[in-house]
């Protein structure tokens, strides 16, 4: 049985995960520079130690209602072939190891928005870990 | 020795030293593995290069020595003789002699009078000694490399009489070499600047990395500067100043490492010009000035093709045939001058020919012929404006297409390429006397000076290269100086109208209250107005910003792929406080704000707008098009974002909507016929052959409107003209979708209700409703005004 490690986080109550190997780092809230004329899913630009990183609002990406003005998101910085991209999440969870025997494809009844991004779920004790498809989540075309 | 020669010699010295160092290593390596043919081959090549070059440069002694060595090596390589320790010694001695000669040449420019006949003789003997006798003796030698002298001495013995002189040198090789070697060894420490040690080859990637690091350092420096500004501590301040200076020097130094003389790309032009002139039966002299002007390597690459194009153009179109030149009283040989120099932090490049010059009339006729200009507009153009027409796509004045130029792709590409690297191109000329093309490009692209401005909560950097001047309006002036020209704010800059763009508007952010009222009633209410006068293309416009900060050196960083599609930003940078600021792409901003329209419509639109502007605000510029029932319709040009043509097949019907893919987005398209109820009766329609039935595959003309960043297209039958006229005495509308009817250009023309188009494309959109109401008010106001 193969085991895999996931970096987990919460977005509006959803328990989500990405493969640990594609995560560069997790950092606390950073001030963002808003980029006008871009779709709302682009939250802005941030300075990550001299590197300019685009931040994508995962709430918006998943079609969820926006975060309240007083809620500060956390940056999950994801490595991509075109440089780092940050995903804004509500809260960060642990890195957990799961076995692939508990994995299941998403049910057909999932909404279209979410279906495109969620690869499937790991059935953990008491809750479900939804695994995001990193490439699709960060796909600029689809995001726009 | 001329400078050129000196350069060649210096290069030769540097290169030879590298070669000699390698030979040293290889000779020793050869001793350890004598069977390795690749080492011999490498040594041979190296010495061969030295020999070839010094022969070319006329260093006969050096040539003689290296020639003798080459013979030995060639025999070795061909396995005619086998390597022996003695051979290695002699060859190493030869390397030392050559090195000594090189130093001599470097210090005195001459080879000196040293006598190397003994060494040459030894080498010759080794070469000739490639006999079986020598070979058999040599065989055990490598195995016992150390006891060389005893083995060496008897070795040549059987060969020939000159044994004593040869045998002697082997154990005493260094003394033998002293005539040449001694001065060399003395000179080396004294001069301590052999060419081989002052230049090294460095990987370009390493330089790029250094450049990036310096960029980071500049950012950190900017942050420190900002922090120390707040403290009063003298030691911190002085340390910061030192850091500041050193960083600037380091930045300059690293930038210099990437600099290359423009001569590197110019040096292929003599050949290009010669070949081209020959094939056109012309005589052209190429003169180059300022070949040593340096600019960044990436820029050198970027201007290579545009420059080649300009040079070819000058020879092919500019310079006339010899007999015509003589007839015009000019020398039969044409002159093409390439000039480069630094000025004001920019590199200037000029391409000047003394040929026929540009013929403004021919350009004008061509432009009219191609529908880029109306006769009327052309008559009002200055000569310089006409010259600039050649930068439009698809424009060529060449009477015949040659294999060189005249295909109509060219100057627009040149201009695009130059502008892509932040440069400008201009053209001057006198008919009959020649043409000068002036190019200005920045020294580098990585770190640029920029003006930082603010709009809303964001700061933006504007590259200094496009900045012309700053205007600050205060108090009363701030209220009155910005005037409205049918919804377009303008400012009178030294008597000329400068179109204004509000940065907040252009970026789709809500403008401060009171701005941009199309009726022209409310001027801006701010007590201060900051206008940044920018140059985009050959046009000026004013960018109204909330506040103007400092100028700063900024490090340009590319935007991630998610943001590539936004044309108004050229990149991003990190400011002194660590926050990210976007760099405005002035050209993109101008295009977005319609200061410059795109493609071929540019000349038409801009000129029409300019004319309207000059004539005063009673006049309006209207876009005329044919209505579905063969009537005329008009809309204010100021409402039009662009005029486009799509193949009909690109229009796709989805549900009830007609859509077209446009600039990476889906644009809803409204057909005029569906908007305006048909007025005429069927028989009349049949009797009117003037309107061609819409071709199912042919192109359709689309008027593009934009609002809040979204585009909406209107398919019209045919775009007729752009005219300016006063909209006096409108008649009430006769059908829905029309605001009224007026006389434009002598014909009754219906004014299309633009808002109806927008409403149709986006039913229920609040903005459309709101602006429709505003437009209705506006027409009512006008009506009332004209009626009174």
ipTM of the complex: 0.89
φ, ψ at B197 (rounded to 5°) = -100, -10
List pLDDT tens digits, range B106-120.
Answer: 888 777 777 888 888
With the CA atoms of B502, B755, B597 and B585 taken in that order, what torsion angle do they form, in degrees rounded to the nearest 10?
40
Most confident of B137-141, B369-373, B462-466, B526-530: B462-466
Mean pLDDT for chain B?
73
Q: Across residues A124-133, what is the average pLDDT?
A: 89
Kindly report the length of chain A.
144
Lowest mean pLDDT among A63-77, B129-143, B319-333, B417-431: B129-143
B767 or A75, greater pLDDT: A75
Q: How many CB atoms lie within 10 A of CB B766?
A: 8
**Confidence grade of residue B686 (pLDDT, cut at 50, 70, 90):** very low
Q: Is the pLDDT of residue B310 over 60?
A: yes
Q: How much is the pLDDT for B683?
A: 42
B215, B560, B576, B591: best mutation site toward chain A, by most A Cβ within 10 Å? B560
pLDDT number for residue A54: 93
The residues, any chain, with a CB within 8 Å of residue B601's CB and separated by 6 or more, are B642, B643
pLDDT of B7 strictly over 80: no
Cα→Cα distances B181→A32, B25, B186, Å = 68, 19, 9
What is the pLDDT, as a whole number, of residue B243? Answer: 92
Query: Does the distance separating the beta carbons of A45 and B561 come in below 8 Å?
Result: no
| Two structure tokens written together for B471 | 């205007």
Mutation target for B interface from A27, A30, A37: give the one with most B CBs within 10 A.
A37
Q: What pLDDT was estimated at residue A140?
A: 59
**Span B690-699, pLDDT tens digits:** 444 444 566 7
Provide φ and ψ at B545, rounded to 5°.
-120, 165
Residue of chain B whose Cα is closest to the Cα of A49: B578
Residue B98 backbone phi and psi in degrees, to 5? -60, -40
Secondary structure of residue B353 in the 3-state scheme = strand
Q: Which run of H or E residues covers position B297?
A: helix B297-313
Nearest CA to B129 out of B94, B185, B90 is that of B90
Q: Is B262 exposed, middle or buried (0-12, 13-18, 19+ CB in 10 A)?
A: buried
**Residue A50 and residue B553: Cα distance in Å, rounded?**
15
Contact of B740 with B733, CB cutoff 8 Å: yes
Would you say the C-alpha torsion A88, A94, A100, A105 has a positive or negative sign?
Answer: negative
- pLDDT category at B545 given cuts 50, 70, 90 is very high
Contact call for A54 and B568, based on CB within 8 A = no
Query: Residue A71: what pLDDT?
Result: 86
Q: How would you classify the pairing of strands A91-99 and A103-104? A: unpaired
User: What residues in A contact B209, CB-CB < 8 Å?
Assistant: none
pLDDT tens profile B230-249 = 877 888 888 998 998 999 89
| A87 DSSP β-pair partners | A56, A76
The contacts found for B44-50 with CB under 8 angstroms, 24 or more apart, are B44/B70, B44/B73, B44/B74, B44/B76, B44/B77, B46/B19, B46/B20, B46/B22, B47/B19, B47/B23, B47/B73, B49/B15, B49/B16, B49/B19, B50/B16, B50/B19, B50/B20, B50/B98
- Locate A28 and state its tokens: 């606390």
DSSP type of residue B457: T
Which of B580, B664, B665 would you mutate first to test chain A, the one with the most A CBs within 10 A? Answer: B580
CB-CB neighbors (< 8 A) of B560 in chain A: 52-54, 82-83, 85
Mean pLDDT for B40-49 is 82
Residues of A in contact with B446 (CB under 8 A): none
In whole numbers, what is the pLDDT of chain A averaged over residues?
87
Model confidence band, residue B709 (pLDDT cutoffs 50, 70, 90): low
Q: Please count the residue pairs, one from chain A and one from chain B, whose beta carbons lie less than 8 angstroms apart.
A: 67
Among B154-168, B258-272, B644-658, B663-677, name the one with the lowest average pLDDT.
B154-168
Contact A82 B561 (CB under 8 A): yes
- All residues of chain B having their beta carbon less than 8 Å from the beta carbon of residue A52 are 557, 559-560, 572, 574, 580
Q: Which helix (H) or strand (E) covers residue B761, if one does? A: helix B754-761
Residue B156's pLDDT band (cuts 50, 70, 90):
very low
**pLDDT tens-place string over residues B422-451:** 778 888 877 778 889 989 887 767 678 899
Q: What is the pairing mode between strands B284-289 and B334-343?
A: parallel
pLDDT of A142 over the 70 cut: no
| B-chain residues near A49 (CB < 8 A) | none
- For the segment B726-740, the average pLDDT, to the nearest whole number, is 73
Type and span of the H or E element at A115: helix A112-117
Write out the two tokens for B738: 């029309």
User: Given this model, what pLDDT does residue B452 score?
Assistant: 94
Cα A90 to its chain centre, rounded Å, is 10
pLDDT of amino acid B352: 92
Q: Is B574's pLDDT higher than 50?
A: yes
Range B747-776 average pLDDT: 63
Residue B159 has pLDDT above 50, yes or no: no
The closest alpha carbon to B311, from B364, B347, B344, B267, belongs to B267
According to DSSP, the residues that pair with B531 across neighbouring strands are: B471, B544
Of the two residues A7 and B606, the one the predictor is more confident about is: A7
Contacts of A81 in chain B (CB under 8 A): none
Integer-rounded Cα Rg, in Å, for chain A is 15
Residue B762 has a pLDDT of 63
**pLDDT band per the 50, 70, 90 thresholds, residue B404:** very low
DSSP states of A17-70 as a string? EEEGGGEEEEE-----B--TTS-TTEEEEEEETTEEEEEEEHHHHTTPPPPPTT
Residue A35 has its nearest CB partner, among B574, B579, B582, at: B582
- Which one, of B297, B287, B337, lies nearest residue B211 by Cα? B297
Quote the pTM value. Answer: 0.48
Flag if B582 and A83 touch (Cβ within 8 Å): no
Write out the two tokens for B676: 């305006």
What number is the average pLDDT over the span B514-533? Answer: 58
pLDDT band at residue A16 using 50, 70 and 90 as cut-offs? very high
Is residue A85 scored above 60 in pLDDT? yes
Sign of the torsion angle spanned by Cα atoms B300, B301, B303, B305? positive
Please judge whether A38 and B566 are an interchain contact, meaning their C-beta atoms are less than 8 angstroms apart. Answer: yes
B45 vs B404 pLDDT, higher one: B45
Whether the predicted pLDDT of B708 surpasses 70: no
pLDDT of the residue at B232:
77
CA distances from residue A87 to A23, A29, A137 in whole angstroms, order as listed:
10, 11, 9
Confidence check: pLDDT of B604 > 70: no
Least confident piece of the model among B119-128, B540-549, B776-785:
B776-785
Neighbour-count burial of B718, counting CB atoms closer than 10 A to its CB (0-12 exposed, 13-18 middle, 19+ buried): middle
Chain B residues whose beta carbon lies within 8 Å of the beta carbon of residue A85: 560, 562
Q: Is A52 on the interface with B (CB under 8 A)?
A: yes
The SS3 assignment for B695 reads coil
Average pLDDT over residues B632-638: 82
Transcribe B593-619 into DSSP letters: TTSS--TTHHHHHHHHHHHHHHH-TTS
Rounded Cα distance between B776 and B730, Å, is: 13
pLDDT given at position B226:
81
When scoring B562, B574, B575, B663 by the number of chain A Cβ atoms within 10 A, the one with the most, hence best to mutate, is B562
User: For A86-100, B318-332, B670-684, B702-716, which range has the lowest pLDDT when averaged over its residues?
Assistant: B670-684
Q: What six digits make up the tokens of A25?
A: 């780092």
- Give the distance from CA B18 to its chain's centroid: 36
Burial status of residue B47 (CB atoms within 10 A of its CB: 0-12, 13-18, 19 or more): buried
pLDDT value at position B396?
A: 57
Chain B: nearest CA to A83, how far in angstroms?
8
**Residue B338 pLDDT:** 93
In this structure, the strands spanning B747-752 and A118-124 are unpaired
Interface test with B, best of A31, A34, A36, A137 (most B CBs within 10 A): A36
Residue B220's Cβ-side half-sphere holds a number of Cα atoms within 13 Å equal to 13
Looking at per-residue pLDDT, the higher value among A5 and B695 belongs to A5
Q: Is residue B131 over pLDDT 50?
A: no
CA angle A26, B573, B707 (to 5 degrees): 95
Share of chain B above pLDDT 70, in %: 75
Which residues in chain A (63-122) have CB-CB distances under 8 A to chain B? 82-83, 85
Which residues in chain A have Cβ-Cβ distances shorter than 8 Å to B578?
47
Q: Residue B569: its chain A contacts at CB < 8 A?
A: 35
Categorize the per-residue pLDDT at B228 as very low, low, confident or very high, splitting at 50, 70 and 90: confident
3-class state of residue B643 by DSSP: strand
pLDDT above 60 for B129: yes
B421 and B445 Cβ atoms separated by less than 8 Å: yes
Does A1 contact B at CB distance below 8 Å? no
The whole-angstrom separation of Cα B462 and Cα B552 is 10
pLDDT at position B785 over 70: no
Residue A79 phi/psi, 5-degree rounding, is -80, 135
Residues of chain B in Cβ contact (below 8 Å) with chain A: 216, 219, 457-458, 507-509, 557, 559-566, 568-569, 572, 574, 578-582, 709
| Residue corresponding to tokens 């956390």 | A74
The pLDDT confidence band at residue A144, using thresholds 50, 70 and 90, is very low
Looking at the partner chain, which of A31, A38, A51 has a beta carbon nearest the beta carbon of B563? A38
pLDDT at residue B148, as a whole number: 38
Q: What is the largest CA-CA distance in chain A?
A: 48
Take residue B421 and report the two structure tokens written for it.
Answer: 């690297």
Greater pLDDT, B364 or B269: B269
Q: Using pLDDT thresholds of 50, 70 and 90, give the confidence band for residue A77.
A: very high
Work out the average pLDDT over B291-301: 85
Q: Which DSSP string do the residues of A68-104 spell out, in sequence order?
A: PTTPPPEEEEE--TTS-EEEEESEEEEEEEEEGGGEE
**Residue B716 three-state SS:** strand
Nearest CA in chain A to B223: A50
Query: In B58-116, which residue ranges form alpha helices assigned H by DSSP?
Result: 60-77, 85-108
Q: What pLDDT was estimated at residue B778?
A: 56
How many helical (H) and strand (E) elements, i.e. helices and strands, does chain B have? 28, 29
What are residue B122's phi and psi, to 5 degrees? -60, -45
Distance to chain A for B714, nearest Cα, Å: 23
What is the predicted pLDDT for the residue at A8?
94
pLDDT computed for residue B595 by the predictor: 64
Cβ separation B566–A37 shorter than 8 A: yes
Distance of CA A57 to the CA centre of its chain: 8
**Strand-pair category, B539-545 with B496-502:** parallel
- The reported pLDDT for the residue numbered B168 is 37
Q: Is the pLDDT of residue B561 over 70?
A: yes
What count of other Cβ atoms lies within 10 Å of the Cβ of residue B263? Answer: 16
Nearest-angstrom CA–CA distance, B51 and B112:
17
Distance from C-alpha of B123 to C-alpha of B130, rounded to nearest angstrom: 11
Q: Are B711 and B670 in contact (CB under 8 A)?
A: no
Q: Is residue A31 less than 8 Å (CB to CB) from chain B?
A: yes
């Amino acid at each position: 049985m193969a085991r895999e490690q996931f970096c987990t986080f919460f977005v509006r109550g959803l328990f989500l995960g990405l493969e640990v190997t594609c995560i560069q780092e997790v950092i606390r809230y950073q001030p963002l520079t808003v980029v006008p004329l871009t779709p709302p899913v682009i939250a802005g630009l941030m300075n990550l130690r001299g590197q300019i990183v685009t931040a994508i609002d995962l709430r918006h990406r998943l079609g969820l209602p926006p975060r309240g003005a007083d809620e500060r998101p956390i940056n999950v910085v994801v490595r991509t072939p075109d440089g780092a991209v940050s995903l804004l999440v509500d809260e960060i969870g642990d890195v957990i190891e799961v076995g692939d025997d508990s994995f299941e494809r998403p049910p057909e009844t999932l909404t279209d928005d979410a279906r495109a991004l969620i690869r499937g779920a790991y059935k953990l004790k008491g809750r479900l870990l939804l695994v995001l498809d990193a490439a699709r989540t960060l796909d600029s075309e689809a995001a726009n | 020795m001329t400078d050129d020669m000196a350069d060649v010699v210096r290069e030769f010295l540097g290169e030879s030293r590298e070669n000699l160092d390698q030979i040293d290593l290889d000779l020793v390596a050869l001793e350890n593995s004598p069977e390795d043919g690749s080492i011999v081959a490498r040594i041979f090549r190296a010495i061969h290069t030295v020999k070839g070059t010094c022969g070319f440069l006329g260093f006969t002694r050096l040539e003689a020595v290296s020639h003798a060595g080459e013979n030995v090596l060639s025999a070795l390589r061909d396995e005619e003789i086998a390597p022996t320790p003695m051979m290695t010694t002699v060859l190493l001695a030869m390397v030392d002699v050559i090195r000594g000669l090189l130093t001599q040449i470097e210090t005195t420019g001459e080879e000196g009078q040293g006598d190397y006949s003994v060494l040459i003789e030894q080498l010759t003997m080794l070469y000739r000694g490639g006999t079986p006798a020598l070979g058999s003796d040599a065989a055990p030698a490598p195995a016992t490399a150390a006891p060389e002298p005893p083995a060496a001495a008897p070795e040549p013995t059987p060969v020939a009489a000159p044994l004593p002189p040869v045998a002697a040198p082997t154990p005493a090789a260094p003394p033998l070499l002293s005539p040449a070697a001694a001065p060399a060894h003395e000179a080396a420490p004294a001069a301590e600047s052999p060419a081989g040690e002052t230049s090294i080859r460095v990987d370009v990637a390493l330089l790029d990395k250094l450049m990036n690091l310096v960029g980071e350092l500049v950012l950190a420096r900017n942050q420190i500067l900002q922090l120390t500004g707040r403290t009063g501590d003298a030691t911190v301040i002085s340390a910061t100043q030192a850091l500041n200076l050193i960083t600037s020097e380091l930045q300059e130094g690293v930038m210099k490492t990437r600099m290359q003389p423009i001569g590197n790309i110019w040096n292929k032009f003599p050949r290009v010009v010669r070949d081209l002139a020959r094939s056109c039966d012309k005589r052209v002299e190429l003169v180059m000035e300022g070949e040593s002007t340096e600019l960044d390597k990436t820029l050198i690459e970027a201007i290579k093709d545009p420059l080649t194009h300009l040079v070819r153009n000058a020879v092919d179109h500019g310079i006339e045939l010899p007999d015509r030149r003589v007839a015009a009283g000019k020398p039969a040989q044409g002159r093409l001058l390439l000039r480069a120099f630094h000025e004001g932090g920019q590199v200037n490049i000029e391409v000047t020919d003394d040929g026929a010059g540009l013929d403004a009339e021919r350009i004008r006729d061509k432009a009219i012929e191609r529908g880029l200009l109306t006769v009327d507009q052309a008559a009002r153009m200055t000569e310089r404006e006409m010259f600039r027409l050649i930068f439009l796509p698809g424009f060529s004045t060449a009477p015949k297409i040659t294999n060189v130029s005249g295909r109509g792709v060219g100057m627009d590409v040149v201009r695009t390429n130059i502008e892509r690297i932040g440069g400008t191109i201009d053209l001057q000329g006198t008919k009959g006397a020649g043409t000068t093309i002036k190019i200005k490009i920045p020294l580098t692209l990585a770190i640029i000076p920029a003006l930082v401005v603010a709009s809303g909560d964001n700061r933006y950097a504007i590259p200094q290269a496009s900045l012309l001047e700053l205007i600050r309006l205060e108090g009363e002036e701030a209220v009155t100086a910005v005037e409205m020209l049918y919804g377009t704010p303008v400012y009178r800059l030294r008597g000329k109208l400068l179109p204004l763009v509000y940065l907040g508007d252009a970026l789709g952010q809500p403008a401060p209250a009171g701005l941009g009222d199309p009726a022209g009633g409310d001027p801006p209410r701010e007590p201060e107005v900051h206008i940044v006068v920018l140059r985009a293309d050959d046009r000026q416009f004013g960018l109204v910003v909330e506040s103007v900060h400092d100028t700063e050196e900024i490090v340009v960083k590319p935007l991630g792929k998610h943001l590539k599609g936004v044309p108004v930003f050229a990149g991003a940078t990190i400011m002194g406080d660590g926050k990210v600021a976007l760099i405005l792409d002035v050209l993109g901003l101008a295009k977005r704000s319609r200061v410059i329209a795109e493609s071929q419509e540019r000349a038409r639109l801009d000129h029409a707008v300019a004319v309207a502007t000059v004539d005063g605000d009673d006049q309006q510029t209207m876009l005329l098009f044919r209505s579905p029932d063969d009537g005329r319709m008009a809309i204010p040009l100021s409402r039009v974002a662009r005029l486009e043509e799509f193949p009909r097949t690109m229009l796709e019907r989805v549900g009830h909507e007609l859509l077209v893919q446009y600039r990476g987005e889906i644009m809803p398209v409204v057909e005029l016929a569906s908007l305006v109820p048909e007025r005429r009766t069927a028989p009349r329609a049949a009797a009117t052959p003037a309107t061609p039935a819409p071709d199912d595959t042919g192109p359709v003309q689309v008027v593009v409107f934009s609002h809040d960043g979204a585009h909406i297209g209107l398919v019209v039958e045919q775009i007729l003209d752009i005219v300016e006229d006063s909209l006096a005495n409108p008649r009430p509308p006769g059908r829905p979708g029309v605001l009224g009817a007026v006389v434009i250009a002598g014909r009754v023309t219906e004014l299309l209700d633009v808002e109806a188009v927008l409403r149709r494309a986006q039913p229920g959109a609040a903005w459309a409703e709101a602006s429709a109401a505003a437009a209705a008010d506006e027409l009512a106001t006008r009506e009332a005004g004209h009626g009174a």
